[in-house]
Amino acid sequence: MLCPLLMLAATGFLRAQTYKNGLIDKSIAIIGNDVVLLSDIEEEVRMMQASGYTVDANTRCEILDNLVSSKLFLTQARLDSLTVTDEQVKEQVDAQLNKVMSSLGGEKETEEYFKKPLYKIRQDWTETFQEQLLIQQMQQKVYSDIPKMTPAAIKQLCQEMPQEDLPVIPTQYKLRQIVLYPDKEAASMIVKEKLLELRERVIGGEKFASLARLYSQDPGSATHGGELGMRSKTVYWPQFSDAAMSLKAGQVSQIVETPDGFHIIQMIEKKGDMFNARHILIKPAYTATDRNKAFTRLDSIKTAITEGKTTFEVAAWNNSEDFKTRTNGGMMVDEYTGSGLLEKDRLNPQDYAVVKDMKEGDISDPFESLDTEGRGNTIYKIVRLDGIIPSHTASFETDYDALVNMANEKNAHKAIESFVEEKKKTTYIKIDPLFKGCKFADEAWFK
């Protein structure tokens, strides 16, 4: 026999109501005291589409499957009195709303797409994201109860697991570099003079869009006359959005520098924290003289190293203009993991094109590459290949961190499965026959 609250929820399961354009809304799932409405599924589908995700025949089934599992975590989060702050929720809502409005083209278009005013969208999403944050907190709590893997446990796991189930480590490289930058000041002056000329031509009556098609080096917008489309200011470099938001419709900015290069901007339209503008981007260009000058210096540094007059590490400290690597003797590291072992996919294509043909101990000839700032600035460099670790199946002796990550992922997955299994035993769950044809990850939802 159901308790009164469950009876109330069960009654709600059978209730149907009109919710938009004459369509019938209904409760399609009960999970304890929570109800999932058909409109909840459709709202999620529309949000995914507005964010650029592909929606197929299985999408609604996957959404419902995830919602049912998530509601179990939400119930426990409430029982454990977990809380989230208004600031946390607002940050999540703002980020999602900015993403959707940028995709759809603005506030008006977003309201038309979701068929409700912006304040109502924000109100609905506030409740949704509040629940999502509570669910995430509960999942983190479940993760925190997972015992830490000891080296002995990792070694035993490695011994017991079939070889084919162990992770495969791709080829890794140990590299050091000495980097020189071209004369950016001189090249920047040339760019600024060109942009000033273009700005004067616009003020003199020429069409900004026509000049953008001819001169802008932003391939994504140049063919559209430099127009960027209605986007949230948060998607741009702060220098760019600050300059754009200070303009009135039709105004043209002074020169703006970002990590991508130099811009002039013409405002088209502003809506709250969103704007549509045109821009012309020109990047500093470097001549053969710049290249030859840098290559000559790098050749001299390489010669001094190979003749034993200095070491690569000392030469990097004394000459490299890349301050991220010069202090540790030019050693390159993965910026995301901090590891000194670099996989192919973590190298610039220009670097890999040189490194792939080198042997351990080799020092490359000077070559042109890109740094990691913005979308990459021109640099000149030499590299030394200190080691190559060929692709291999992970082992305890050489790939401990990779094995720990694998073990943690497996344990986290098991912990989530165990939590869901345990809560299903004590939680009333009912799925509407409308979704009977779904291939749920957990087929037990219908049992």
pLDDT band at 446 (very low <50, low <70, confident <90, very high): low
Q: What angle do CA 72, 55, 73 make, to 5 degrees?
A: 10
Residue 300 sits in the same domain as residue 255: no
Residue 257 sits in the same domain as residue 322: no
Amino acid 2: pLDDT: 33
Q: Which of 282, 310, 329 is the last residue of a domain?
A: 282
Tokens 């040189």: give the residue: 354
The CA radius of gyration of the chain, in Å to the nearest whole number, is 29
Amino acid 22: pLDDT: 45
User: Tell me, what amino acid is at 417?
Assistant: E
Question: Would you tell me how many other CB atoms lie within 10 Å of the CB of residue 189?
Answer: 12
Residue 174 sits in the same domain as residue 314: yes
Residue 210 sits in the same domain as residue 227: yes
Is 152 contained in some domain? no
Cα 241 to Cα 231: distance, rounded to the nearest angstrom: 10
Which residues are within 8 A (CB) of 438 and not within 5 positions of it... i.e. 6 or more apart?
A: 58, 60, 61, 64, 65
Is 403 contained in some domain? no
- In 45-184, the DSSP E strands lie at 168-169, 172-180
Amino acid 11: pLDDT: 31
Question: Would you tell me how many other CB atoms lie within 10 Å of the CB of residue 108?
Answer: 13
pLDDT band at 389 (very low <50, low <70, confident <90, very high): very high
Is 315 contained in some domain? yes
Residue 319 sits in the same domain as residue 197: no
pLDDT for 326-371, tens place per residue? 999 999 998 888 889 999 888 999 999 999 999 999 999 999 999 8
Cα 140 to Cα 123: distance, rounded to the nearest angstrom: 26
More confident residue, 348 or 9: 348
Is 90 contained in some domain? yes
Cα 175 to Cα 388: distance, rounded to the nearest angstrom: 9
pLDDT band at 444 (very low <50, low <70, confident <90, very high): low
Residue 175 sits in the same domain as residue 314: yes
φ and ψ at residue 266, rounded to 5 degrees: -120, 120
DSSP 3-state of 430: strand
pLDDT for 392-425, tens place per residue? 999 998 888 889 989 999 999 999 989 998 998 8
Residue 276 sits in the same domain as residue 310: no
> Which H or E element spans position 240?
helix 238-245
Amino acid 56: pLDDT: 85
Q: Which domain holds residue 124?
A: 4-147+410-446
Residue 92 sits in the same domain as residue 214: no
Q: Which of 282, 317, 336 is the last residue of a domain?
A: 282
More confident residue, 51 or 312: 312
The CATH number of the domain holding residue 346 is 3.10.50.40
pLDDT at 19 exceeding the cut of 50: no
Exposure b/e, 61-80, CB count within 10 A at least 16 = b = bbbbbebbbbbbbbbbbbee
Is 178 contained in some domain? yes
pLDDT for 155-178, tens place per residue? 998 888 898 889 999 999 999 999
pLDDT for 68-89, tens place per residue? 989 999 999 999 999 999 999 9
Residue 383 sits in the same domain as residue 415: no
pLDDT at 23 exceeding the cut of 70: no
φ and ψ at residue 250, rounded to 5 degrees: 90, -20
The pTM (predicted TM-score) of the whole model is 0.67
Residue 30 sits in the same domain as residue 127: yes
Which residues are within 8 A (CB) of 413 and not within 5 positions of it... i.e. 6 or more apart?
A: none
Q: Supply the DSSP symbol for 14.
A: T
Closest CA relative to residue 167, chosen from 405, 345, 413, 390: 405
Residue 34 sits in the same domain as residue 104: yes
Residue 319 sits in the same domain as residue 176: yes
Q: How many domains is the chain partitioned into structurally?
A: 3
